[in-house]
Amino acid sequence: MTAKAVTIAQQKGGAGKTTLAAQLAVTYARNGLRVGLLDIDPQGSLAAWFEVRKALVDENGGGITFVQASGWRLSTELERLRRDVDLVLIDSPPHAETEVRIAVRAADLILVPIQPSPMDLWATGPTLDMARKEKSPALMVFNRTPAKGKLVDAVRKKISESEVPVAESVLGNRVAFAASIMEGKGVVESNPRHTASREIKALAMEIAIKLGLN
């Protein structure tokens, strides 16, 4: 059986794609899944995180297999990875290139992180259009959500008028997420009792249920 694949895509830069990829990867790995992380962003920030992880946490990646691929190698690398692990997470660059389209087409679910603001909501348009065209289901995820949530409710309501679902679980604006990345970790490793850990675990669970993983 080949593994399910989740592509994290959002054309708006800085929405939290790479953070989400690393945090989810660690959360699933800690739950005993063999996780494949595929980086198709030439910026390579996920690759940098993984290097730190190998140096400081576990030279074998701590349950995560990391692959960077682009161009004609992408499809073959993805298929190979899908045979070797239980779940593949794909981090993508903040623009719509052929590679992103391939990753969106191949995925079982597209995660679209957005900061709960009108600008970010409008900026999701091209990514959601791409998911629709490629017939891949999308799930929006609120990231860097402020503690007081009137705006979140308003944006959630606006989204509910479209047909794209929004994850129940939201990630707050928390230094713990960024701090764990600095150490090559996920927050469930660096700060297991922190609210940030509870948030990422809840999101991971919600996604797993959607994917039918158990």
Stretch that binds ligand ATP, among 24-32, 70-78, 149-157, 172-180 (CB under 6 A): 172-180
Are the C-beta atoms of residues 121 and 141 closer than 8 Å to each other? no
Q: Does 18 bind ligand ATP (CB under 6 A)?
A: yes
190 binds ligand ATP per the rule CB under 6 A = no
Residue (2 or 195) nearer to ligand ATP, CB: 195
Q: Does 15 bind ligand ATP (CB under 6 A)?
A: yes
126-135 CB contacts, 8 Å cutoff, 24+ apart? 126/11, 126/96, 127/9, 127/10, 127/11, 127/96, 128/162, 128/164, 130/9, 130/96, 130/100, 130/101, 130/104, 131/9, 131/104, 134/101, 134/104, 134/105, 135/105
- DSSP code for 77: H
The distance of closest approach from Cβ of residue 83 to ligand ATP in the complex, given in angstroms and rounded to an integer, is: 27
19 contacts Mg ion (rule: CB under 5 A): no
Backbone angles phi, psi at 164, to 5 degrees: -90, 125
Residue number with CB closer to ligand ATP (16 or 36): 16
* CB neighbours of residue 180 within 10 Å: 26
Residues 54-93 that bind ligand ATP (CB under 6 A): none
**Total interface residues for ligand ATP by CB under 6 A:** 17
Nearest to 183 by CA among 70, 3, 17, 52: 52
| Residue 154 burial (CB count, 10 A) | 14
Considering the rule CB under 6 A, would residue 13 count as an interface residue with ligand ATP?
A: yes
Q: From Mg ion, ligand ATP, none, which one binds at residue 143 (CB under 5 to 8 Å depending on kind)?
A: ligand ATP
By CB under 6 A, name the one of 4, 53, 82, 144 that touches ligand ATP.
144
Contact residues: ligand ATP, CB under 6 A = 13-19, 41, 43, 94, 143-144, 171, 173-174, 177-178
Q: Which residues sit at the interface with Mg ion, rule CB under 5 A?
A: 17-18
